[in-house]
């Protein structure tokens, strides 16, 4: 088994190889002046089991095409097994037809990857678990929230926090539940959020939260504009929270997201290396190790 480092996740791929104690495949890639992608395996990969590490954060269309090129080339050259590790699986919010005639882009991506001939895909904190059903090969979601909350406890001295999901979707609840378990059963709750399908504007319903004098950690899969986390932070502060942290898996941080959250009372935002960002403090590489070969022996 060997790891292929995709252009979007070079550092993460090195960490994955380290965690799995396997080597990295020699490869080279570049973009031509007109933007087209060039990729080459610099060693023979026929008969080899490969893990392609390529997170699909913005510019997502570029990163997707890079992944398709690498996977297709691996298949074409006779790799015996192709596993994709795409911690941020782009287009997972376009998971169904919310308005008549809409494209289901997550399904399109799944169909192309399966047609190329990948054998399995692993992702982290996918927005909607239903997207995994579009894959005709084993597709797994890994949960990063236990790693994230442990970081706050171990590196920020946060003790007995209150965990808050900024919306009450199934995956969001699962994330706070898992994080709560990791900290021995700390309290948690979820807010109710609604999005206008035409304008994209969100509204979070205020709720009584027992957080007076407590540190709140808002757990979310994605921070894009920061609006969702800012709303949750404002409500937490109004309910008397002492400090408010945001622990997010995929920090896309568009525009003034960090400023927006800071103005809403957020003390710190911490994220994973699924998306390299100024807030990145945690690696998702151990999650893949755990999924493939189990937890490290202590
Ligand atoms: C959506 O429901 C997700 O779980 C995130 O809460 C959302 O994508 C965050 O987006 P934004 O930061 O733009 O509010």
Q: Give domain limits for the chain.
A: 2-142, 145-282
Q: Is 247 in the pocket of ligand 1 (CB under 6 A)?
A: no
pLDDT at 48: 98
* Domain 2-142 and domain 145-282 have a common topology: yes
Q: Annotated catalytic sites, by residue?
A: 193
Q: What is the pLDDT of residue 296?
A: 61
Q: Does domain 2-142 have CATH number 3.40.50.2020?
A: yes
- In this predicted structure, what is the pLDDT of residue 104? 97
What separation in angstroms does the CA of 163 have from each of 14, 132, 216, 283? 32, 26, 6, 21
pLDDT at 293: 87
Q: How far apart are CA 131 and CA 284, in angstroms?
A: 20
pLDDT of residue 265: 97
In this structure, what are the phi and psi dihedrals at residue 126, rounded to the nearest 5 degrees? -70, 145
What pLDDT does 197 receive? 78
Q: Which residues of the chain have pLDDT under 50?
A: none
Q: Cα(70) to centroid of ligand 1, in Å?
A: 30
The residue whose CA has the least distance to atom 9 of ligand 1 is 223
Q: Please, which residues have CB within 8 angstroms of residue 295's CB and are 6 or more apart in sequence?
A: none
- In a mutational test of the pocket of ligand 1, which residue from 170, 220, 248, 256 has the highest number of ligand atoms less than 8 Å from its CB? 220
Residue 182, pLDDT score? 96
pLDDT at site 128 = 86
Distance between Cα 166 and ligand 1 center (Å):
9
For 196-216, write each residue's pLDDT tens digit: 878 878 899 999 999 999 999
Determine what percent of the chain is predicted with pLDDT higher than 70. Answer: 99
CATH of span 145-282: 3.40.50.2020
CA distances (Å), origin 298, targets 184, 236, 294: 19, 37, 12
Give yes or no for a contact between 233 and 266, defined as CB atoms under 8 angstroms apart.
yes
Q: Provide the pLDDT for residue 19.
A: 96
């Amino acid at each position: 088994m060997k790891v292929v480092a995709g252009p979007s996740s070079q550092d993460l791929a090195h960490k994955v190889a380290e965690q799995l104690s396997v080597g990295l495949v020699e490869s080279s890639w570049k973009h031509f002046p007109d933007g087209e992608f060039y990729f080459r395996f610099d060693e023979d990969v026929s008969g080899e089991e490969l893990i392609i590490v390529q997170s699909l954060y913005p510019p997502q269309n570029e990163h997707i095409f890079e992944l398709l090129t690498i996977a297709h080339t691996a298949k074409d050259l006779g790799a015996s097994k192709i596993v994709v590790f795409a911690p941020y699986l782009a287009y997972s919010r376009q998971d169904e037809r919310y308005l008549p005639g809409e494209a289901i882009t997550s399904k399109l991506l799944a169909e192309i990857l399966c047609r190329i001939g990948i054998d399995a895909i692993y992702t982290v904190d996918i927005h909607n678990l239903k997207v995994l059903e579009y894959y005709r090969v084993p597709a797994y979601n890994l949960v990063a929230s236990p790693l994230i909350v442990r970081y706050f406890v171990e590196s920020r001295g946060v003790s007995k926090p209150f965990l808050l999901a900024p919306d009450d979707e199934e995956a969001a609840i699962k994330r706070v539940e898992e994080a709560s378990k990791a900290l021995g059963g700390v309290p948690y709750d979820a807010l109710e959020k609604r999005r206008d399908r035409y304008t994209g504007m969100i509204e979070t319903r205020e709720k009584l939260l027992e957080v007076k004098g407590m540190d709140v950690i808002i757990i979310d899969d994605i921070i894009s504009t920061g609006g969702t986390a800012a709303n949750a932070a404002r409500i937490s502060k109004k309910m008397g929270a002492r400090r408010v942290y945001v622990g997010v898996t995929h920090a896309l941080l568009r525009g003034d997201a960090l400023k927006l959250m800071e103005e809403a009372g957020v003390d710190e935002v911490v994220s994973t290396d699924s998306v390299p960002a100024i807030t990145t403090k945690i690696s998702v590489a151990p999650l893949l190790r755990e999924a493939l070969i189990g937890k490290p022996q202590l």
